[in-house]
Chain A
Amino acid sequence: QQQVKQSPQSLIVQKGGISIINCAYENTAFDYFPWYQQFPGKGPALLIAIRPDVSEKKEGRFTISFNKSAKQFSLHIMDSQPGDSATYFCAASISGSARQLTFGSGTQLTVLP
């Protein structure tokens, strides 16, 4: 059972544009929602994370928006750059447990120069 659904599967954006990736979760016990960035041949790297007690978190060009009632969260990349071209994964975990991450299926982002 896929507990975190991610869309779109792929995304092409012009340089300077806004990239938006969406995730929806089913398990209401999730209370930590990170986004990871992965380049080919590399392990995932933590980009930004949020807890459900806030609706938005911004770090530089990256913003997470969180809607607890809809059980949805999204990543916005402002002023997208070719160097942002990578695969992005949303994830979720539960505090107080092993805190293993449940990942979405990934979004391959291509930013055109």
Chain B
Amino acid sequence: DTGVSQDPRHKITKRGQNVTFRCDPISEHNRLYWYRQTLGQGPEFLTYFQNEAQLEKSRLLSDRFSAERPKGSFSTLEIQRTEQGDSAMYLCASSSPGLFLNEQFFGPGTRLTVL
């Protein structure tokens, strides 16, 4: 399967714990996005990488959140001191500037539950 993959698919944690999610984009895609989706809502943009550079961050990305994309390949999203309000589906998407109309391809997401 050459699509976007995310790991883990589900994560249950206690409030105050740190969690880290991983995203592996489609191999030739140099653009990578993180979104957050809460129940009954559309995905909301969190942050964007072009290769290894983090070029844009949403105001939703508080200082408890950090994202990296070393070497421009996979990306990680870490949430420190989790809060119940962090419970959501975290989606990763990738894209290539060569694609017509900047199509973004989404992974299956990581569902986070904070108890």
Contact = CB atoms under 8 A, between A and B. Distances in A.
Interface of A: 4, 6, 32, 34, 36, 41-46, 49, 51, 89, 91, 93, 95, 97-106
A105 B42 contact: yes
A106 B42 CA distance: 6
B104 interface: yes
Nearest to B89: A43
Contacts of A36: 106
B43 A44 contact: yes
A91 B108 contact: no
B103 A106 contact: no
Contacts, number: 64
Given A51-B101, A98-B56, A101-B104, A43 B42 contact: no
A89 B33 contact: no
Contacts of B55: 98
Contacts of A93: 102
Nearest to B92: A43
Interface in B30-71: 31, 33, 35, 40-45, 48, 50, 55-56, 58
What 9 A-B pairs come out closest when comparing CB atoms?
A103-B42, A43-B106, A100-B45, A98-B48, A98-B56, A99-B102, A44-B106, A89-B42, A43-B108
